[in-house]
């Protein structure tokens, strides 16, 4: 059986057919994904609504009892047992993993347990896969110690893959929030100037900004719930700053905290912060535009200039060789 697999892997026609099949399958999946995606906004907003009810229940329980009660979705039983028996939180857990998961949009104890399980199994799978390939399929004409070191490096990469996945999710989430945040501040300013309270304004803006940025709508909805049920409103703004981890959002939260503490008008604060965030967004766009020419230098030298020289000097070279 192994010999047949190795023979097929070295068969050029078979590999070409396999790659074509993979490409066709990927194309079909890519075209079908938008039709199978469903209502992402509705699903996320429903999850936020459930989170709001959990916050309400948790705060009511905390105010009526001295003990701290955490109302969260518990992970699956086998995941919890595996984490407890192997003590994954102690051995492979990271202090900033919980904060990273929250910034990526994964809240509660369940995602953290799943993250620990992935950090356990992904390196093992990567190590065994590398061993199978290097010692059975293709030895790459390297000694056994070198192949073993390559397999260990694959295990290390596998351990870092969950953090890379989280970093990618956080970057996408931050980009979505950063682009929509100045517009949401303008809407928040309009709501406050029309006489709405800050809680109602946050709720209204979260409904309007959902079509532009689902993560921002989710964060504003959670902030609305925390403003309604937390005893200290300052904690709601601080939690929003921690969940987004953006300088613009952090400065707005600090300004709102100061406005509530000293009684300054919220409209003036929001107007100034909205202008600052628009300036920051414009400065970021100008920075990207200014960095574009240096990035295009190497592609122009490698791809454009040789073609240009061939077009300009090619006819002259052909005539010179023809006469000689």
Give the count of beta carbons closer than 10 Å to the beta carbon of residue 308.
Answer: 11
Is residue 177 within 8 A of residue 217, CB to CB? The reply is: no
Q: Which pLDDT band holds residue 70 (cuts at 50, 70, 90)?
A: very low
Percent of residues in the chain assigned helix, strand, coil, to nearest 5: 85, 0, 15
Closest CA to 223 of 210, 236, 214, 234: 236
> Tell me: the pLDDT tens digits for 172-223?
999 889 888 888 888 888 888 888 888 888 888 888 888 888 888 889 988 8
Tokens of 163: 């953090």
CA distance 28 to 70: 44
Name the more confident of 224 and 23.
224
SS (H, E, C) 165-214: HHHHHHHHHHHHHHHHHHHHHHHHHHHHHCCCCHHHHHHHHHHHHHHCCH
Give the count of beta carbons closer than 10 Å to the beta carbon of residue 133.
Answer: 17
Q: Is 241 helix (H, G, I), strand (E, B) or coil?
A: helix
CA distance 11 to 20: 14
Q: At 95, give phi and psi (nearest 5°).
A: -65, -35
What's the chain's length in residues?
A: 324
> Tell me: the pLDDT tens digits for 219-245?
998 888 888 888 888 888 998 988 888
> Tell me: the pLDDT tens digits for 132-162?
888 888 777 778 888 888 888 988 888 888 8
């Amino acid at each position: 059986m192994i010999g047949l697999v190795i023979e097929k892997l070295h068969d050029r026609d078979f590999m070409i057919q396999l790659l074509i099949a993979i490409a066709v399958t990927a194309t079909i999946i890519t075209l079908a994904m938008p039709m199978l995606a469903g209502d992402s906004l509705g699903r996320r907003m429903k999850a936020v609504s459930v989170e709001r009810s959990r916050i309400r229940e948790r705060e009511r329980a905390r105010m009526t009892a001295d003990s701290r009660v955490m109302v969260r979705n518990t992970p699956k039983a086998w995941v919890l047992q595996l984490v407890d028996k192997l003590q994954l939180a102690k051995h492979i857990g990271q202090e900033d993993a919980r904060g990273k998961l929250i910034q990526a949009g994964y809240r509660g104890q369940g995602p953290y347990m799943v993250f620990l399980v992935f950090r356990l199994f992904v390196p093992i799978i990567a190590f065994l896969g590398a061993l199978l390939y290097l010692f059975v399929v293709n030895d790459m004409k390297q000694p056994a110690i070198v192949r073993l070191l390559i397999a260990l490096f694959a295990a290390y990469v596998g351990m870092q893959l969950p953090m890379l996945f989280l970093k990618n999710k956080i970057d996408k989430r931050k980009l979505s929030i950063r682009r929509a945040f100045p517009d949401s501040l303008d809407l928040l300013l309009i709501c406050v100037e029309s006489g709405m309270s800050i809680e109602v304004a946050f709720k209204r803006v979260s409904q309007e900004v959902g079509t532009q940025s689902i993560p921002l709508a989710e964060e504003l909805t959670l902030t609305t719930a925390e403003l309604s049920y937390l005893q200290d409103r300052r904690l709601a703004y601080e939690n929003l700053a921690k969940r987004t981890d953006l300088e613009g959002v952090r400065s707005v939260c600090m300004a709102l905290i100061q406005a509530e503490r000293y009684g300054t008008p919220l409209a003036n604060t929001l107007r100034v912060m909205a202008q600052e965030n628009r300036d920051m967004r414009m400065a970021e766009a100008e920075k990207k535009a200014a960095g574009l020419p240096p990035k295009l230098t190497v592609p122009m030298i490698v791809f454009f200039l040789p073609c240009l020289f061939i077009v300009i000097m090619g006819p002259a070279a052909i005539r010179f060789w023809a006469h000689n």
